[in-house]
Amino acid sequence: MKRTSARLADGREILYYHDDADDGADDRVDDGAEGGAGDNAEGGHHAFPDTRPLDASASVTTSEVRRDPLLGDSVVIASHRQGRTHLPPADACPLCPSTEDRASEVPAPDYEVVVFENRFPSLAGDTGRCEVVCFTPDHEASFAELDERRAALVLAAWTDRTAELAAREGVRQVYCFENRGTEIGVTLAHPHGQIYAFPFVTPRTTRMLATVAAHRARTRTGDGTHTHTHTRDGDGGVNLFEQVLAEERADGRRVVLEGEHWTAFVPYAARWPYEVHLYPHRRVPDLPALDEAARAEFPRVYLELLRRFDRLFGRADPTPYISAWHQAPTGEGRDDFALHLELFTVRRTADKLKYLAGTESGMEAFMNDVRPEDAAARLREVASR
Protein backbone atom coordinates (compact mmCIF):
# COMPACT_ATOMS: atom_id res chain seq x y z
CA MET A 1 0.00 0.00 0.00
CA LYS A 2 1.15 3.53 -0.79
CA ARG A 3 -0.35 6.59 0.88
CA THR A 4 -0.04 10.16 -0.33
CA SER A 5 -1.08 13.00 1.95
CA ALA A 6 -2.12 16.50 0.85
CA ARG A 7 -4.15 19.49 2.01
CA LEU A 8 -7.38 20.80 0.57
CA ALA A 9 -7.84 24.52 -0.03
CA ASP A 10 -9.31 25.11 3.43
CA GLY A 11 -6.54 23.15 5.18
CA ARG A 12 -8.33 19.83 5.64
CA GLU A 13 -6.21 16.71 5.17
CA ILE A 14 -6.75 14.34 2.23
CA LEU A 15 -5.09 10.91 1.88
CA TYR A 16 -4.84 8.89 -1.33
CA TYR A 17 -4.38 5.13 -0.92
CA HIS A 18 -2.85 3.23 -3.79
CA ASP A 19 -2.49 -0.52 -4.22
CA ASP A 20 1.19 -0.74 -5.08
CA ALA A 21 1.09 -4.49 -5.74
CA ASP A 22 4.17 -4.48 -7.93
CA ASP A 23 6.63 -3.84 -5.11
CA GLY A 24 4.48 -4.62 -2.06
CA ALA A 25 5.62 -1.36 -0.50
CA ASP A 26 3.93 0.39 2.42
CA ASP A 27 5.02 3.95 1.69
CA ARG A 28 3.69 7.24 2.98
CA VAL A 29 4.25 10.58 1.29
CA ASP A 30 2.80 13.06 3.74
CA ASP A 31 2.29 16.63 4.78
CA GLY A 32 1.77 18.46 1.55
CA ALA A 33 1.26 22.19 1.59
CA GLU A 34 -2.24 23.64 1.69
CA GLY A 35 -4.04 23.23 -1.59
CA GLY A 36 -1.41 20.88 -3.00
CA ALA A 37 -0.07 17.38 -2.68
CA GLY A 38 3.41 18.09 -1.40
CA ASP A 39 6.77 18.30 -3.07
CA ASN A 40 7.56 14.60 -3.35
CA ALA A 41 7.23 13.28 -6.88
CA GLU A 42 6.13 9.89 -5.52
CA GLY A 43 2.66 11.39 -5.30
CA GLY A 44 2.46 10.68 -9.06
CA HIS A 45 -0.89 11.37 -10.69
CA HIS A 46 -2.38 12.17 -7.27
CA ALA A 47 -0.42 15.44 -6.99
CA PHE A 48 -3.23 17.78 -8.02
CA PRO A 49 -3.96 21.01 -6.12
CA ASP A 50 -7.38 21.99 -4.81
CA THR A 51 -8.26 25.11 -6.79
CA ARG A 52 -11.54 25.91 -5.05
CA PRO A 53 -11.74 29.28 -3.24
CA LEU A 54 -12.51 27.72 0.15
CA ASP A 55 -12.22 29.74 3.34
CA ALA A 56 -10.52 27.88 6.19
CA SER A 57 -12.51 29.88 8.74
CA ALA A 58 -15.73 28.51 7.23
CA SER A 59 -14.68 25.01 8.33
CA VAL A 60 -14.81 25.92 12.03
CA THR A 61 -17.41 23.77 13.77
CA THR A 62 -19.56 24.38 16.82
CA SER A 63 -19.70 20.79 18.05
CA GLU A 64 -19.95 20.13 21.75
CA VAL A 65 -20.28 16.95 23.79
CA ARG A 66 -22.91 16.94 26.51
CA ARG A 67 -23.51 14.21 29.07
CA ASP A 68 -27.01 12.95 29.78
CA PRO A 69 -27.29 13.19 33.59
CA LEU A 70 -29.80 10.33 33.87
CA LEU A 71 -28.36 7.80 31.42
CA GLY A 72 -24.71 8.82 31.62
CA ASP A 73 -24.47 8.79 27.80
CA SER A 74 -22.48 11.34 25.81
CA VAL A 75 -24.48 13.27 23.20
CA VAL A 76 -22.89 15.32 20.41
CA ILE A 77 -24.57 18.65 19.59
CA ALA A 78 -23.60 19.60 16.01
CA SER A 79 -26.12 22.21 14.86
CA HIS A 80 -23.77 23.54 12.15
CA ARG A 81 -24.47 20.41 10.07
CA GLN A 82 -27.98 21.51 9.13
CA GLY A 83 -26.66 23.06 5.93
CA ARG A 84 -24.62 20.08 4.69
CA THR A 85 -24.93 18.80 1.12
CA HIS A 86 -28.06 16.70 0.64
CA LEU A 87 -28.55 14.24 -2.24
CA PRO A 88 -27.00 16.27 -5.08
CA PRO A 89 -27.36 15.01 -8.67
CA ALA A 90 -24.61 12.73 -9.95
CA ASP A 91 -23.00 15.51 -12.01
CA ALA A 92 -22.61 17.59 -8.83
CA CYS A 93 -21.36 14.82 -6.54
CA PRO A 94 -18.60 16.11 -4.22
CA LEU A 95 -17.05 12.63 -3.91
CA CYS A 96 -16.41 12.00 -7.59
CA PRO A 97 -12.96 12.91 -8.95
CA SER A 98 -12.50 16.48 -10.14
CA THR A 99 -12.72 17.30 -13.84
CA GLU A 100 -11.58 20.26 -15.93
CA ASP A 101 -15.07 21.72 -15.62
CA ARG A 102 -15.82 20.99 -11.97
CA ALA A 103 -13.74 20.79 -8.81
CA SER A 104 -14.91 18.38 -6.12
CA GLU A 105 -13.69 17.36 -2.67
CA VAL A 106 -11.16 15.12 -4.44
CA PRO A 107 -8.79 17.27 -6.57
CA ALA A 108 -7.32 14.32 -8.49
CA PRO A 109 -8.93 13.22 -11.79
CA ASP A 110 -8.88 9.61 -10.60
CA TYR A 111 -8.21 7.61 -7.44
CA GLU A 112 -8.40 4.12 -5.95
CA VAL A 113 -9.33 4.80 -2.32
CA VAL A 114 -9.30 8.27 -0.81
CA VAL A 115 -9.87 9.55 2.74
CA PHE A 116 -10.35 13.17 3.76
CA GLU A 117 -11.58 15.23 6.67
CA ASN A 118 -15.33 15.78 6.50
CA ARG A 119 -16.29 19.30 5.45
CA PHE A 120 -19.32 19.12 7.75
CA PRO A 121 -18.02 17.09 10.71
CA SER A 122 -20.01 16.11 13.76
CA LEU A 123 -16.71 15.96 15.64
CA ALA A 124 -13.69 18.23 15.16
CA GLY A 125 -10.83 19.74 17.14
CA ASP A 126 -11.14 18.95 20.85
CA THR A 127 -14.33 16.97 20.23
CA GLY A 128 -12.70 14.45 17.86
CA ARG A 129 -12.48 14.02 14.11
CA CYS A 130 -14.68 12.83 11.24
CA GLU A 131 -13.34 11.48 7.95
CA VAL A 132 -14.92 10.37 4.67
CA VAL A 133 -13.70 7.20 2.91
CA CYS A 134 -14.43 6.89 -0.82
CA PHE A 135 -14.19 3.26 -1.92
CA THR A 136 -14.12 3.88 -5.67
CA PRO A 137 -14.28 6.80 -8.14
CA ASP A 138 -17.26 5.11 -9.86
CA HIS A 139 -20.39 6.97 -8.73
CA GLU A 140 -22.72 4.16 -9.79
CA ALA A 141 -20.80 1.32 -8.13
CA SER A 142 -21.15 -0.21 -4.67
CA PHE A 143 -18.81 -1.90 -2.22
CA ALA A 144 -20.28 -5.27 -3.21
CA GLU A 145 -19.12 -4.64 -6.79
CA LEU A 146 -15.48 -4.07 -5.82
CA ASP A 147 -12.95 -6.78 -6.56
CA GLU A 148 -11.03 -8.42 -3.73
CA ARG A 149 -7.93 -6.34 -4.39
CA ARG A 150 -9.82 -3.06 -3.95
CA ALA A 151 -11.64 -4.38 -0.87
CA ALA A 152 -8.24 -5.26 0.61
CA LEU A 153 -7.08 -1.69 -0.04
CA VAL A 154 -10.13 -0.33 1.80
CA LEU A 155 -9.27 -2.63 4.71
CA ALA A 156 -5.72 -1.25 4.64
CA ALA A 157 -7.07 2.31 4.72
CA TRP A 158 -9.40 1.53 7.64
CA THR A 159 -6.47 -0.05 9.47
CA ASP A 160 -4.12 2.86 8.79
CA ARG A 161 -6.65 5.44 9.90
CA THR A 162 -7.56 3.47 13.03
CA ALA A 163 -3.92 3.30 14.10
CA GLU A 164 -3.25 6.97 13.44
CA LEU A 165 -6.46 8.35 14.95
CA ALA A 166 -6.28 6.11 18.03
CA ALA A 167 -2.84 7.54 18.78
CA ARG A 168 -4.16 11.11 18.90
CA GLU A 169 -4.50 12.79 22.25
CA GLY A 170 -8.08 12.78 23.51
CA VAL A 171 -9.37 10.04 21.16
CA ARG A 172 -11.08 7.26 23.11
CA GLN A 173 -12.52 5.11 20.31
CA VAL A 174 -12.30 4.87 16.49
CA TYR A 175 -15.39 3.82 14.53
CA CYS A 176 -15.32 2.87 10.82
CA PHE A 177 -18.70 2.42 9.14
CA GLU A 178 -20.71 2.58 5.93
CA ASN A 179 -24.29 3.76 5.49
CA ARG A 180 -25.89 2.74 2.18
CA GLY A 181 -29.24 3.82 0.81
CA THR A 182 -31.59 6.74 1.29
CA GLU A 183 -33.69 4.47 3.52
CA ILE A 184 -30.79 4.57 5.98
CA GLY A 185 -30.52 8.35 5.73
CA VAL A 186 -27.60 8.65 3.31
CA THR A 187 -27.14 12.20 1.98
CA LEU A 188 -24.55 11.35 -0.72
CA ALA A 189 -25.16 8.47 -3.14
CA HIS A 190 -21.51 7.91 -4.07
CA PRO A 191 -20.13 4.68 -2.49
CA HIS A 192 -18.39 5.83 0.65
CA GLY A 193 -18.05 5.29 4.36
CA GLN A 194 -16.99 7.34 7.34
CA ILE A 195 -14.58 7.18 10.25
CA TYR A 196 -15.32 8.84 13.58
CA ALA A 197 -12.66 9.43 16.23
CA PHE A 198 -14.70 9.81 19.41
CA PRO A 199 -13.50 11.71 22.48
CA PHE A 200 -15.54 9.27 24.59
CA VAL A 201 -16.33 5.55 24.63
CA THR A 202 -19.66 5.10 22.85
CA PRO A 203 -22.70 3.95 24.85
CA ARG A 204 -23.01 0.62 23.02
CA THR A 205 -19.37 -0.26 23.66
CA THR A 206 -19.67 0.80 27.28
CA ARG A 207 -22.60 -1.58 27.76
CA MET A 208 -20.75 -4.43 26.01
CA LEU A 209 -17.68 -3.98 28.20
CA ALA A 210 -19.76 -3.92 31.38
CA THR A 211 -21.48 -7.18 30.40
CA VAL A 212 -18.16 -8.78 29.42
CA ALA A 213 -16.55 -7.74 32.72
CA ALA A 214 -19.48 -9.08 34.74
CA HIS A 215 -19.33 -12.40 32.88
CA ARG A 216 -15.62 -12.74 33.50
CA ALA A 217 -16.17 -12.05 37.20
CA ARG A 218 -18.95 -14.65 37.44
CA THR A 219 -16.95 -17.33 35.66
CA ARG A 220 -13.87 -16.52 37.70
CA THR A 221 -15.75 -17.32 40.93
CA GLY A 222 -17.53 -20.35 39.47
CA ASP A 223 -21.00 -18.76 39.43
CA GLY A 224 -21.33 -18.61 35.65
CA THR A 225 -23.01 -21.27 33.53
CA HIS A 226 -21.39 -23.59 30.97
CA THR A 227 -17.87 -22.54 31.99
CA HIS A 228 -16.63 -26.10 31.52
CA THR A 229 -17.14 -25.86 27.75
CA HIS A 230 -15.14 -22.69 27.20
CA THR A 231 -11.52 -21.68 27.43
CA ARG A 232 -10.66 -19.87 30.65
CA ASP A 233 -7.93 -17.22 30.78
CA GLY A 234 -5.95 -19.01 33.50
CA ASP A 235 -7.95 -18.29 36.62
CA GLY A 236 -9.27 -15.05 35.12
CA GLY A 237 -12.64 -16.36 33.95
CA VAL A 238 -14.17 -16.64 30.48
CA ASN A 239 -14.23 -13.97 27.78
CA LEU A 240 -17.86 -13.53 26.71
CA PHE A 241 -17.02 -12.57 23.11
CA GLU A 242 -15.08 -15.81 22.69
CA GLN A 243 -17.89 -17.80 24.32
CA VAL A 244 -20.56 -16.32 22.03
CA LEU A 245 -18.51 -17.06 18.90
CA ALA A 246 -17.75 -20.61 20.04
CA GLU A 247 -21.40 -21.32 20.86
CA GLU A 248 -22.64 -19.96 17.54
CA ARG A 249 -20.11 -22.02 15.59
CA ALA A 250 -20.98 -25.15 17.58
CA ASP A 251 -24.74 -24.67 17.20
CA GLY A 252 -24.56 -23.77 13.50
CA ARG A 253 -28.21 -22.85 12.98
CA ARG A 254 -27.47 -19.15 12.70
CA VAL A 255 -24.09 -19.41 10.95
CA VAL A 256 -24.29 -17.72 7.55
CA LEU A 257 -20.75 -18.07 6.26
CA GLU A 258 -17.59 -19.62 7.70
CA GLY A 259 -14.03 -19.36 6.47
CA GLU A 260 -10.72 -20.48 7.86
CA HIS A 261 -10.25 -17.23 9.81
CA TRP A 262 -13.72 -15.59 9.95
CA THR A 263 -17.27 -16.63 10.87
CA ALA A 264 -20.45 -14.69 10.09
CA PHE A 265 -23.65 -15.45 12.01
CA VAL A 266 -27.04 -13.95 12.80
CA PRO A 267 -27.01 -13.22 16.55
CA TYR A 268 -29.35 -15.17 18.81
CA ALA A 269 -31.16 -11.98 19.88
CA ALA A 270 -30.89 -10.04 16.61
CA ARG A 271 -32.47 -6.59 16.72
CA TRP A 272 -32.81 -6.10 12.97
CA PRO A 273 -34.69 -8.22 10.39
CA TYR A 274 -31.44 -9.26 8.72
CA GLU A 275 -28.42 -8.74 10.92
CA VAL A 276 -25.04 -10.46 10.64
CA HIS A 277 -22.04 -10.30 12.95
CA LEU A 278 -18.64 -11.11 11.46
CA TYR A 279 -15.85 -12.18 13.84
CA PRO A 280 -12.22 -13.18 13.27
CA HIS A 281 -11.53 -16.54 14.92
CA ARG A 282 -8.54 -15.08 16.78
CA ARG A 283 -9.78 -12.42 19.17
CA VAL A 284 -8.08 -9.05 18.64
CA PRO A 285 -9.03 -5.57 19.91
CA ASP A 286 -9.00 -3.67 16.63
CA LEU A 287 -8.16 -3.67 12.93
CA PRO A 288 -4.41 -3.00 13.31
CA ALA A 289 -4.14 -6.17 15.41
CA LEU A 290 -5.43 -8.51 12.67
CA ASP A 291 -2.85 -10.98 11.40
CA GLU A 292 -2.00 -11.37 7.72
CA ALA A 293 -4.04 -14.56 7.30
CA ALA A 294 -7.22 -12.84 8.52
CA ARG A 295 -6.51 -9.81 6.33
CA ALA A 296 -6.04 -11.99 3.27
CA GLU A 297 -9.34 -13.83 3.75
CA PHE A 298 -11.48 -10.85 4.74
CA PRO A 299 -12.19 -9.42 1.24
CA ARG A 300 -13.66 -12.68 -0.05
CA VAL A 301 -15.83 -13.22 3.04
CA TYR A 302 -17.06 -9.64 3.31
CA LEU A 303 -17.83 -9.21 -0.39
CA GLU A 304 -19.83 -12.43 -0.32
CA LEU A 305 -21.88 -11.16 2.64
CA LEU A 306 -22.66 -7.87 0.89
CA ARG A 307 -23.65 -9.66 -2.31
CA ARG A 308 -25.98 -11.93 -0.37
CA PHE A 309 -27.63 -8.88 1.20
CA ASP A 310 -28.30 -7.54 -2.30
CA ARG A 311 -30.04 -10.83 -3.23
CA LEU A 312 -32.26 -11.03 -0.16
CA PHE A 313 -35.42 -9.48 -1.57
CA GLY A 314 -35.21 -10.01 -5.33
CA ARG A 315 -35.28 -6.29 -6.02
CA ALA A 316 -33.46 -4.48 -8.81
CA ASP A 317 -32.21 -1.77 -6.44
CA PRO A 318 -29.54 -2.55 -3.84
CA THR A 319 -30.40 -3.42 -0.25
CA PRO A 320 -29.93 -0.52 2.18
CA TYR A 321 -27.63 -1.37 5.06
CA ILE A 322 -25.33 -0.17 7.81
CA SER A 323 -21.95 -1.86 8.14
CA ALA A 324 -20.20 -1.07 11.41
CA TRP A 325 -16.77 -2.01 12.75
CA HIS A 326 -16.80 -2.38 16.54
CA GLN A 327 -13.30 -1.74 17.86
CA ALA A 328 -11.88 -1.59 21.37
CA PRO A 329 -11.47 1.73 23.16
CA THR A 330 -7.96 3.12 23.28
CA GLY A 331 -7.75 2.70 27.07
CA GLU A 332 -9.63 0.74 29.71
CA GLY A 333 -11.44 -2.39 28.49
CA ARG A 334 -9.16 -2.89 25.51
CA ASP A 335 -7.85 -6.29 26.62
CA ASP A 336 -11.32 -7.83 26.92
CA PHE A 337 -12.84 -6.49 23.71
CA ALA A 338 -13.22 -8.42 20.44
CA LEU A 339 -13.07 -6.71 17.07
CA HIS A 340 -16.14 -7.55 14.99
CA LEU A 341 -18.27 -6.13 12.22
CA GLU A 342 -22.06 -5.77 12.46
CA LEU A 343 -23.99 -5.61 9.18
CA PHE A 344 -27.74 -5.05 9.09
CA THR A 345 -30.57 -3.77 6.90
CA VAL A 346 -33.71 -1.83 7.76
CA ARG A 347 -35.61 -3.72 5.05
CA ARG A 348 -37.77 -6.54 6.45
CA THR A 349 -39.58 -7.60 3.26
CA ALA A 350 -39.30 -6.63 -0.40
CA ASP A 351 -41.72 -3.73 0.10
CA LYS A 352 -41.56 -2.98 3.84
CA LEU A 353 -39.02 -1.24 6.07
CA LYS A 354 -38.30 -1.73 9.75
CA TYR A 355 -38.90 1.58 11.50
CA LEU A 356 -37.65 2.36 14.97
CA ALA A 357 -41.02 3.35 16.37
CA GLY A 358 -42.38 3.72 19.89
CA THR A 359 -40.81 0.77 21.67
CA GLU A 360 -37.42 1.00 19.98
CA SER A 361 -37.02 4.78 19.91
CA GLY A 362 -38.91 5.48 23.11
CA MET A 363 -37.73 2.63 25.34
CA GLU A 364 -34.80 1.04 23.45
CA ALA A 365 -36.76 -2.24 23.46
CA PHE A 366 -36.34 -3.87 20.05
CA MET A 367 -39.09 -5.90 18.38
CA ASN A 368 -37.78 -8.03 15.49
CA ASP A 369 -40.18 -9.16 12.76
CA VAL A 370 -37.91 -11.94 11.46
CA ARG A 371 -36.82 -15.00 13.45
CA PRO A 372 -32.99 -15.05 13.50
CA GLU A 373 -32.84 -18.69 12.40
CA ASP A 374 -35.04 -17.89 9.40
CA ALA A 375 -32.89 -14.89 8.51
CA ALA A 376 -29.76 -17.08 8.61
CA ALA A 377 -31.41 -19.72 6.42
CA ARG A 378 -32.37 -17.08 3.85
CA LEU A 379 -28.82 -15.67 3.82
CA ARG A 380 -27.44 -19.15 3.18
CA GLU A 381 -30.03 -19.68 0.45
CA VAL A 382 -28.83 -16.66 -1.54
CA ALA A 383 -25.16 -17.70 -1.49
CA SER A 384 -23.10 -17.25 -4.64
CA ARG A 385 -23.11 -20.32 -6.87
- Burial of 76 per CB tally in 10 Å (0-12, 13-18, 19+): middle
Q: Annotated catalytic, 139?
A: no
C-alpha distances out from residue 43 to 104, 105, 139, 158, 190, Å: 19, 18, 24, 20, 24
State whether residue 312 is helix, strand or coil.
coil
Neighbours of 119 (CB within 10 A): 17
Element (H, E) at 341: strand 340-345
Opening angle at CA 188, ends 182 and 194, nearest 5: 100
Q: Which of 192, 261, 277, 326 is flagged as catalytic?
A: 192
Q: Decide if 326 contacts 348 (C-beta within 8 A).
A: no
Opening angle at CA 164, ends 163 and 165, nearest 5: 100
Q: How far apart are CA 72 and CA 66, in angstroms?
A: 10
Q: Which residues are catalytic?
A: 192
